[in-house]
Amino acid sequence: MATFLFDKIIFGPVRSRRLGVSLGVNLLPNDAKICNFDCIYCECGWTTGATSSKLPARTQVRESMQKRFQQMRANDDALDVITFAGNGEPTIHPHFAEIIDDTIALRNEYFPHARIAVLSNSTMLHKPPVVEALKRVDQNILKLDSGFDATIQLLNQPKKPITVRQIIDHLKQFDGNFTLQTLFVRGTYNGKPVDNATPRELERWIEIVDELQPKDVMVYTIARDTPIDTLKKVPQAELESIAERVRALGIPVQVSC
């Protein structure tokens, strides 16, 4: 299906269904997706592992961001959030922590009321500099799509071994000061059923949410093209039902369809 790549370091601003007016930051190459997951629902397509380009240098990111901030301020453009996302997992960049520091300084200079958000798959939380950098941003949005290892393997296809328990233990480093994000989807992949919204899946997921006590939760489903055409949205009514179970724990929830 028609997946896409971000072709610039700084892209947008765009109106995000979850975050508002968002200026995107891509710390990966602009000609390939580089990630330690290979999620079957990713709008950027499959993780190739090969690229003709290098990761952008810290100086490139800073200069590109400053130039875009200057343009936006000259045009009196609105900005709600600076979002690290792009063509893969942003926290794998070797200078992620330093880039976050640069971003905080530039944000404070040009758009002091804007938030800084990072969308991460939670796989690099064994690295202290990554964790400390995420603690410095306004919204560290961290993924966990299932409470079962087998579902993570099928849905997210990690490139290196990782378990749900490892992810949970790493998320506990934030003492609840993070946003937990989960994408719910169903269908088939390579002839195998995919559904992380079954009663069994939800029961375990709710237990984990209760254990972690994040400051808030984002539940959503696919909204754009995916690499395969055998996946389906989870209907909004089901997402709202999931959200009510989280709210019963006293945790705010945002639902996006």
CATH code of the domain in which 251 resides: 3.20.20.70
- The verdict on residue 245 lying in a domain is yes
- Within 8 A by CB and 6+ apart from 240, the residues are 255
Q: Residue 81: helix, strand or coil by DSSP?
A: strand
The number of folded domains in the chain is 1
- The verdict on residue 139 lying in a domain is yes
- The verdict on residue 171 lying in a domain is yes
Domain containing 19 equals 10-256
Give yes or no for a contact between 5 and 32, defined as CB atoms under 8 angstroms apart: yes
- The verdict on residue 4 lying in a domain is no
pLDDT of 47 reads 84
pLDDT of 257 reads 76
pLDDT of 9 reads 94
- The verdict on residue 5 lying in a domain is no
Q: Residue 192: helix, strand or coil by DSSP?
A: strand
pLDDT of 125 reads 97
What are the φ and ψ backbone dihedral angles of 82, each rounded to 5 degrees? -105, 115
Q: Residue 25: helix, strand or coil by DSSP?
A: strand
Residues of the chain with pLDDT under 70: 1-4, 17-18, 49-53
Give yes or no for a contact between 201 and 147, defined as CB atoms under 8 angstroms apart: yes
Residue 24: name the closest of 53, 65, 73 by CA: 65
- The verdict on residue 2 lying in a domain is no
pLDDT of 53 reads 58
- The verdict on residue 111 lying in a domain is yes
pLDDT of 221 reads 96
Give yes or no for a contact between 231 and 194, defined as CB atoms under 8 angstroms apart: yes
- The verdict on residue 1 lying in a domain is no
pLDDT of 5 reads 74
pLDDT of 250 reads 98
